[in-house]
Structure 1
Amino acid sequence: MSTPGTRGRPSGLVIGSLVAISFGTVFVMVNSGGLPAPWPLVVRIAGLLVAVLLLVGVFRVARQAPPAAQGPEAAGFMDRRYWIVVALEAVALFGGLAVINNVFDRPEVSVAWVAVVVGVHFFGLAAVWRMPRYHWLGAVMTALGLAGFLTYALGGDAAAVALVSGVGCGAALFATVALALRDTTRRTA
Protein backbone atom coordinates (compact mmCIF):
# COMPACT_ATOMS: atom_id res chain seq x y z
CA MET A 1 0.00 0.00 0.00
CA SER A 2 1.24 3.44 -0.75
CA THR A 3 2.15 5.66 2.13
CA PRO A 4 -0.28 8.42 3.07
CA GLY A 5 0.19 11.54 1.02
CA THR A 6 1.72 9.81 -1.98
CA ARG A 7 0.03 9.96 -5.33
CA GLY A 8 -1.18 6.91 -7.16
CA ARG A 9 -3.42 4.06 -6.23
CA PRO A 10 -2.43 1.79 -3.36
CA SER A 11 -0.89 -1.52 -4.31
CA GLY A 12 -3.51 -4.21 -4.19
CA LEU A 13 -6.42 -1.82 -4.61
CA VAL A 14 -7.69 -3.36 -7.83
CA ILE A 15 -7.34 -7.04 -6.89
CA GLY A 16 -8.52 -6.41 -3.32
CA SER A 17 -11.55 -4.53 -4.58
CA LEU A 18 -12.41 -7.28 -7.05
CA VAL A 19 -12.18 -9.88 -4.29
CA ALA A 20 -14.31 -7.76 -1.92
CA ILE A 21 -16.94 -7.08 -4.59
CA SER A 22 -17.10 -10.79 -5.45
CA PHE A 23 -17.49 -11.94 -1.85
CA GLY A 24 -19.86 -9.06 -1.06
CA THR A 25 -22.07 -10.12 -3.95
CA VAL A 26 -22.02 -13.74 -2.76
CA PHE A 27 -22.94 -12.67 0.79
CA VAL A 28 -25.91 -10.67 -0.54
CA MET A 29 -27.15 -13.24 -3.08
CA VAL A 30 -26.91 -16.29 -0.85
CA ASN A 31 -28.24 -14.74 2.33
CA SER A 32 -31.23 -12.80 1.04
CA GLY A 33 -33.20 -15.83 -0.14
CA GLY A 34 -35.02 -16.47 3.14
CA LEU A 35 -36.72 -13.09 3.21
CA PRO A 36 -40.43 -12.84 2.40
CA ALA A 37 -41.30 -11.90 -1.19
CA PRO A 38 -40.53 -9.54 -2.87
CA TRP A 39 -37.48 -8.76 -0.70
CA PRO A 40 -35.09 -11.43 -2.00
CA LEU A 41 -35.45 -10.04 -5.52
CA VAL A 42 -35.20 -6.43 -4.35
CA VAL A 43 -32.10 -7.07 -2.23
CA ARG A 44 -30.42 -9.14 -4.96
CA ILE A 45 -31.06 -6.54 -7.65
CA ALA A 46 -29.78 -3.80 -5.35
CA GLY A 47 -26.70 -5.88 -4.53
CA LEU A 48 -25.98 -6.51 -8.20
CA LEU A 49 -26.45 -2.84 -9.03
CA VAL A 50 -24.03 -1.81 -6.28
CA ALA A 51 -21.52 -4.45 -7.44
CA VAL A 52 -21.68 -3.21 -11.04
CA LEU A 53 -21.27 0.42 -9.97
CA LEU A 54 -18.28 -0.51 -7.83
CA LEU A 55 -16.73 -2.49 -10.70
CA VAL A 56 -17.08 0.54 -12.95
CA GLY A 57 -15.40 2.62 -10.25
CA VAL A 58 -12.55 0.13 -9.83
CA PHE A 59 -11.83 0.02 -13.55
CA ARG A 60 -12.07 3.80 -13.81
CA VAL A 61 -9.59 4.27 -10.96
CA ALA A 62 -7.29 1.58 -12.39
CA ARG A 63 -7.25 3.37 -15.73
CA GLN A 64 -6.85 6.90 -14.37
CA ALA A 65 -4.66 6.51 -11.29
CA PRO A 66 -1.20 5.05 -11.81
CA PRO A 67 0.01 2.56 -9.22
CA ALA A 68 1.98 4.10 -6.38
CA ALA A 69 5.56 3.04 -5.81
CA GLN A 70 5.61 -0.19 -3.84
CA GLY A 71 7.75 -0.69 -0.79
CA PRO A 72 9.22 -3.98 0.39
CA GLU A 73 6.06 -4.67 2.43
CA ALA A 74 3.97 -5.00 -0.74
CA ALA A 75 4.42 -8.77 -1.11
CA GLY A 76 0.64 -9.22 -1.23
CA PHE A 77 -0.52 -12.76 -1.81
CA MET A 78 3.06 -14.02 -1.94
CA ASP A 79 3.69 -13.08 1.68
CA ARG A 80 4.02 -16.13 3.95
CA ARG A 81 2.15 -14.27 6.70
CA TYR A 82 -0.86 -13.89 4.39
CA TRP A 83 -0.98 -17.67 3.90
CA ILE A 84 -0.76 -18.23 7.67
CA VAL A 85 -3.78 -15.94 8.17
CA VAL A 86 -5.68 -17.79 5.42
CA ALA A 87 -4.78 -21.21 6.85
CA LEU A 88 -5.95 -20.20 10.34
CA GLU A 89 -9.12 -18.79 8.82
CA ALA A 90 -9.83 -22.06 6.98
CA VAL A 91 -9.29 -24.17 10.10
CA ALA A 92 -11.53 -21.90 12.21
CA LEU A 93 -14.15 -21.65 9.48
CA PHE A 94 -14.54 -25.32 8.64
CA GLY A 95 -13.88 -26.57 12.17
CA GLY A 96 -16.47 -24.21 13.61
CA LEU A 97 -19.03 -25.03 10.93
CA ALA A 98 -18.57 -28.75 11.63
CA VAL A 99 -19.28 -28.16 15.32
CA ILE A 100 -22.22 -25.81 14.65
CA ASN A 101 -23.84 -28.12 12.11
CA ASN A 102 -22.93 -31.60 13.37
CA VAL A 103 -22.59 -31.22 17.14
CA PHE A 104 -25.01 -28.41 18.01
CA ASP A 105 -27.30 -28.95 15.00
CA ARG A 106 -27.77 -25.19 14.54
CA PRO A 107 -27.24 -24.52 10.82
CA GLU A 108 -29.30 -21.34 11.26
CA VAL A 109 -26.23 -19.62 12.74
CA SER A 110 -23.69 -20.88 10.22
CA VAL A 111 -23.54 -17.54 8.42
CA ALA A 112 -23.00 -15.78 11.75
CA TRP A 113 -19.95 -17.98 12.32
CA VAL A 114 -18.68 -17.27 8.81
CA ALA A 115 -19.04 -13.53 9.46
CA VAL A 116 -17.11 -13.75 12.75
CA VAL A 117 -14.26 -15.77 11.24
CA VAL A 118 -13.98 -13.63 8.12
CA GLY A 119 -14.16 -10.51 10.27
CA VAL A 120 -11.36 -11.71 12.55
CA HIS A 121 -9.21 -12.66 9.55
CA PHE A 122 -9.28 -9.02 8.43
CA PHE A 123 -7.42 -8.05 11.62
CA GLY A 124 -4.60 -10.36 10.54
CA LEU A 125 -4.63 -8.97 7.01
CA ALA A 126 -4.59 -5.42 8.38
CA ALA A 127 -1.38 -6.23 10.23
CA VAL A 128 0.25 -8.16 7.38
CA TRP A 129 -0.55 -5.60 4.70
CA ARG A 130 -0.46 -2.48 6.90
CA MET A 131 -3.99 -1.52 5.91
CA PRO A 132 -5.74 0.23 8.82
CA ARG A 133 -9.07 0.19 6.97
CA TYR A 134 -9.12 -3.60 7.39
CA HIS A 135 -9.27 -3.14 11.17
CA TRP A 136 -12.55 -1.30 10.68
CA LEU A 137 -13.88 -3.89 8.23
CA GLY A 138 -12.86 -6.68 10.60
CA ALA A 139 -14.60 -4.98 13.51
CA VAL A 140 -17.80 -4.42 11.53
CA MET A 141 -17.95 -7.96 10.13
CA THR A 142 -17.16 -9.52 13.52
CA ALA A 143 -19.86 -7.39 15.13
CA LEU A 144 -22.35 -8.41 12.42
CA GLY A 145 -21.52 -12.06 13.07
CA LEU A 146 -22.02 -11.64 16.80
CA ALA A 147 -25.24 -9.74 16.10
CA GLY A 148 -26.42 -12.76 14.09
CA PHE A 149 -25.81 -15.05 17.07
CA LEU A 150 -27.67 -12.57 19.29
CA THR A 151 -30.54 -12.37 16.79
CA TYR A 152 -30.89 -16.15 16.94
CA ALA A 153 -30.63 -16.22 20.74
CA LEU A 154 -33.44 -13.66 20.94
CA GLY A 155 -35.73 -15.81 18.78
CA GLY A 156 -34.81 -14.74 15.28
CA ASP A 157 -35.04 -17.33 12.53
CA ALA A 158 -32.45 -18.32 9.92
CA ALA A 159 -33.63 -15.57 7.54
CA ALA A 160 -33.11 -12.90 10.20
CA VAL A 161 -29.63 -14.20 11.01
CA ALA A 162 -28.78 -14.33 7.29
CA LEU A 163 -29.99 -10.76 6.81
CA VAL A 164 -27.98 -9.38 9.73
CA SER A 165 -24.79 -11.41 9.34
CA GLY A 166 -24.83 -12.28 5.64
CA VAL A 167 -26.36 -9.35 3.80
CA GLY A 168 -24.83 -7.02 6.38
CA CYS A 169 -21.33 -8.36 5.65
CA GLY A 170 -21.94 -7.97 1.93
CA ALA A 171 -22.86 -4.34 2.51
CA ALA A 172 -19.75 -3.86 4.68
CA LEU A 173 -17.51 -5.24 1.92
CA PHE A 174 -19.19 -2.99 -0.65
CA ALA A 175 -18.79 0.05 1.63
CA THR A 176 -15.10 -0.71 2.15
CA VAL A 177 -14.49 -0.75 -1.61
CA ALA A 178 -16.45 2.47 -2.04
CA LEU A 179 -14.38 4.20 0.66
CA ALA A 180 -11.10 2.95 -0.83
CA LEU A 181 -12.12 4.23 -4.27
CA ARG A 182 -13.17 7.58 -2.82
CA ASP A 183 -9.89 7.99 -0.96
CA THR A 184 -7.82 6.99 -3.99
CA THR A 185 -9.72 9.39 -6.23
CA ARG A 186 -9.18 12.25 -3.76
CA ARG A 187 -5.50 11.45 -3.36
CA THR A 188 -4.78 11.29 -7.07
CA ALA A 189 -6.89 14.31 -8.06
Structure 2
Amino acid sequence: MLFVAINANEPLPSLAGTLLRVAAVLALMFVIFVYMTAGRMIKTGAVPQGGPAGGPMFGKAYLVIVGVEVVLLFGGLPVLGALGVPEQVNVAWIAFVVGAHFVALAPVWKAPSMLVPGVIPTVLGIAGFVMAGTSALAWVPFVSGVLSGITLLGASAVLSWTQLAELRRVAAA
Protein backbone atom coordinates (compact mmCIF):
# COMPACT_ATOMS: atom_id res chain seq x y z
CA MET A 1 0.00 0.00 0.00
CA LEU A 2 2.88 2.35 0.77
CA PHE A 3 4.36 1.82 -2.71
CA VAL A 4 1.10 3.13 -4.18
CA ALA A 5 0.41 5.84 -1.60
CA ILE A 6 3.86 7.39 -1.87
CA ASN A 7 4.34 7.09 -5.63
CA ALA A 8 0.93 7.79 -7.19
CA ASN A 9 1.85 11.38 -8.00
CA GLU A 10 2.72 13.42 -11.08
CA PRO A 11 2.98 12.77 -13.94
CA LEU A 12 -0.23 10.86 -13.17
CA PRO A 13 -3.35 13.01 -13.23
CA SER A 14 -4.42 13.91 -9.69
CA LEU A 15 -7.67 11.95 -9.94
CA ALA A 16 -5.84 8.82 -11.08
CA GLY A 17 -3.43 9.09 -8.15
CA THR A 18 -6.30 9.52 -5.71
CA LEU A 19 -8.20 6.54 -7.14
CA LEU A 20 -5.08 4.38 -6.97
CA ARG A 21 -4.51 5.36 -3.33
CA VAL A 22 -8.14 4.59 -2.42
CA ALA A 23 -7.93 1.23 -4.20
CA ALA A 24 -4.67 0.43 -2.37
CA VAL A 25 -6.21 1.23 1.02
CA LEU A 26 -9.26 -0.90 0.20
CA ALA A 27 -7.03 -3.79 -0.90
CA LEU A 28 -5.02 -3.53 2.33
CA MET A 29 -8.23 -3.47 4.38
CA PHE A 30 -9.41 -6.58 2.52
CA VAL A 31 -6.17 -8.44 3.29
CA ILE A 32 -6.38 -7.43 6.97
CA PHE A 33 -10.04 -8.50 7.14
CA VAL A 34 -9.25 -11.90 5.62
CA TYR A 35 -6.27 -12.34 7.97
CA MET A 36 -8.41 -11.49 11.00
CA THR A 37 -11.19 -13.83 9.83
CA ALA A 38 -8.72 -16.68 9.41
CA GLY A 39 -7.20 -15.92 12.81
CA ARG A 40 -10.63 -16.11 14.45
CA MET A 41 -11.28 -19.45 12.75
CA ILE A 42 -8.03 -20.84 14.13
CA LYS A 43 -8.47 -19.27 17.59
CA THR A 44 -11.99 -20.62 18.03
CA GLY A 45 -10.89 -24.10 16.96
CA ALA A 46 -12.96 -24.10 13.77
CA VAL A 47 -9.80 -25.24 12.00
CA PRO A 48 -6.62 -26.75 13.42
CA GLN A 49 -3.59 -24.54 13.86
CA GLY A 50 -0.59 -25.71 11.88
CA GLY A 51 2.60 -24.50 10.33
CA PRO A 52 4.10 -24.94 6.91
CA ALA A 53 5.07 -28.45 5.92
CA GLY A 54 8.63 -27.35 5.15
CA GLY A 55 9.51 -26.31 8.67
CA PRO A 56 9.50 -23.02 10.52
CA MET A 57 8.44 -20.11 8.38
CA PHE A 58 10.67 -17.62 10.18
CA GLY A 59 13.80 -19.75 10.68
CA LYS A 60 17.45 -18.99 10.03
CA ALA A 61 17.12 -18.75 6.24
CA TYR A 62 14.34 -16.21 6.60
CA LEU A 63 16.41 -14.14 9.03
CA VAL A 64 19.41 -14.18 6.69
CA ILE A 65 17.29 -13.13 3.70
CA VAL A 66 15.62 -10.30 5.62
CA GLY A 67 18.99 -9.24 7.06
CA VAL A 68 20.48 -9.00 3.58
CA GLU A 69 17.38 -7.11 2.43
CA VAL A 70 17.75 -4.53 5.22
CA VAL A 71 21.45 -4.05 4.47
CA LEU A 72 20.76 -3.63 0.75
CA LEU A 73 17.87 -1.23 1.31
CA PHE A 74 19.51 1.02 3.87
CA GLY A 75 22.99 0.69 2.42
CA GLY A 76 21.99 1.00 -1.22
CA LEU A 77 20.05 4.24 -0.98
CA PRO A 78 22.99 6.31 0.31
CA VAL A 79 25.22 4.73 -2.33
CA LEU A 80 22.76 5.76 -5.05
CA GLY A 81 22.73 9.28 -3.63
CA ALA A 82 26.52 9.42 -3.51
CA LEU A 83 26.65 8.31 -7.14
CA GLY A 84 24.35 11.18 -8.12
CA VAL A 85 21.53 8.91 -9.25
CA PRO A 86 18.26 10.85 -9.57
CA GLU A 87 16.04 10.59 -6.49
CA GLN A 88 13.22 9.03 -8.52
CA VAL A 89 15.37 5.92 -8.90
CA ASN A 90 15.29 5.19 -5.16
CA VAL A 91 11.92 3.50 -5.57
CA ALA A 92 13.36 1.35 -8.37
CA TRP A 93 16.06 0.15 -5.96
CA ILE A 94 13.49 -0.55 -3.26
CA ALA A 95 11.25 -2.48 -5.69
CA PHE A 96 14.24 -4.48 -6.92
CA VAL A 97 15.37 -5.43 -3.40
CA VAL A 98 11.85 -6.20 -2.11
CA GLY A 99 11.11 -8.31 -5.18
CA ALA A 100 14.42 -10.16 -4.91
CA HIS A 101 13.71 -10.99 -1.26
CA PHE A 102 10.44 -12.69 -2.28
CA VAL A 103 12.28 -14.62 -5.00
CA ALA A 104 14.80 -15.78 -2.37
CA LEU A 105 12.02 -16.75 0.05
CA ALA A 106 10.09 -18.85 -2.50
CA PRO A 107 12.34 -21.94 -2.20
CA VAL A 108 12.86 -21.45 1.54
CA TRP A 109 9.10 -21.47 2.14
CA LYS A 110 8.53 -24.04 -0.61
CA ALA A 111 6.03 -21.59 -2.08
CA PRO A 112 6.43 -21.14 -5.83
CA SER A 113 3.53 -18.68 -5.72
CA MET A 114 5.94 -16.23 -4.03
CA LEU A 115 7.71 -15.87 -7.36
CA VAL A 116 4.89 -13.67 -8.73
CA PRO A 117 5.25 -10.94 -6.08
CA GLY A 118 9.00 -11.45 -6.37
CA VAL A 119 9.80 -11.44 -10.05
CA ILE A 120 7.41 -8.67 -11.08
CA PRO A 121 8.70 -5.97 -8.66
CA THR A 122 12.28 -7.07 -9.41
CA VAL A 123 11.69 -6.55 -13.13
CA LEU A 124 9.84 -3.27 -12.47
CA GLY A 125 12.82 -2.11 -10.39
CA ILE A 126 15.19 -2.91 -13.25
CA ALA A 127 12.84 -1.09 -15.63
CA GLY A 128 13.07 1.97 -13.38
CA PHE A 129 16.85 1.93 -13.59
CA VAL A 130 16.67 1.70 -17.38
CA MET A 131 14.11 4.52 -17.52
CA ALA A 132 16.35 6.74 -15.38
CA GLY A 133 18.58 7.36 -18.36
CA THR A 134 15.71 8.40 -20.61
CA SER A 135 13.15 11.15 -20.90
CA ALA A 136 10.77 8.87 -18.95
CA LEU A 137 12.52 9.56 -15.61
CA ALA A 138 9.37 11.16 -14.19
CA TRP A 139 7.50 7.85 -14.71
CA VAL A 140 9.95 5.76 -12.65
CA PRO A 141 7.90 6.14 -9.42
CA PHE A 142 4.79 4.94 -11.24
CA VAL A 143 6.45 2.00 -12.99
CA SER A 144 8.68 0.84 -10.15
CA GLY A 145 6.54 2.03 -7.23
CA VAL A 146 2.86 2.02 -8.09
CA LEU A 147 2.96 -1.05 -10.31
CA SER A 148 5.03 -2.94 -7.72
CA GLY A 149 2.54 -1.94 -5.04
CA ILE A 150 -0.38 -3.12 -7.14
CA THR A 151 1.43 -6.41 -7.73
CA LEU A 152 2.16 -6.93 -4.03
CA LEU A 153 -1.36 -5.98 -2.95
CA GLY A 154 -2.96 -8.09 -5.65
CA ALA A 155 -0.84 -11.13 -4.78
CA SER A 156 -1.59 -10.63 -1.08
CA ALA A 157 -5.32 -10.36 -1.74
CA VAL A 158 -5.41 -13.47 -3.94
CA LEU A 159 -3.26 -15.51 -1.55
CA SER A 160 -5.28 -14.38 1.47
CA TRP A 161 -8.56 -15.22 -0.22
CA THR A 162 -7.41 -18.66 -1.38
CA GLN A 163 -6.03 -19.49 2.06
CA LEU A 164 -9.28 -18.40 3.73
CA ALA A 165 -11.24 -20.52 1.26
CA GLU A 166 -9.03 -23.49 2.17
CA LEU A 167 -9.62 -22.87 5.89
CA ARG A 168 -13.34 -22.76 5.27
CA ARG A 169 -13.11 -26.02 3.32
CA VAL A 170 -11.23 -27.67 6.18
CA ALA A 171 -13.71 -26.30 8.74
CA ALA A 172 -16.65 -27.67 6.75
CA ALA A 173 -15.08 -31.14 6.40
Which of these residues, 149, 153, 159, is aligned with residue 129 of structure 2?
149
Residue 140 of structure 2 is matched in structure 1 by 161
Shift of 1:45: 1.4
TM-score calculated relative to the size of structure 2: 0.81
| 1:76-155 matched pairs, under 5 angstroms | 76-77=57-58, 79-155=59-135
Residue 179 of structure 1 is matched in structure 2 by 158
Residue identity opposite 1:156 in structure 2: A
Q: How many residues align?
A: 163
- The yes-or-no answer on 1:30 pairing with 2:10 is no
Shift of 1:53: 2.3
Residue identity opposite 2:3 in structure 1: F
Considering only aligned residues, what root-mean-square deviation do their CA atoms show, in Å? 2.1
TM-score calculated relative to the size of structure 1: 0.75
Shift of 1:71: 5.5
Shift of 1:164: 0.9
Instruction: Mark the runs of 5 or more structure 1 residues left unpaired by the alignment.
Output: 1-24
Post-superposition Cα deviations, 1:127-161, rounded to whole Å, max 9, x if no partner, equal 22222111222111101111222333331133x11
**Inter-CA distance 44–108: structure 2 relative to 1 (3 Å threshold):** same
Residue identity opposite 2:101 in structure 1: H
Residue identity opposite 1:75 in structure 2: P
**Inter-CA distance 117–71: structure 2 relative to 1 (3 Å threshold):** closer
Instruction: Mark the runs of 5 or more structure 2 residues left unpaired by the alignment.
Output: none
Shift of 1:165: 0.8
Residue identity opposite 2:7 in structure 1: N
Post-superposition Cα deviations, 1:78-126, rounded to whole Å, max 9, x if no partner, equal x121111112112222232122112133212110011111111112211
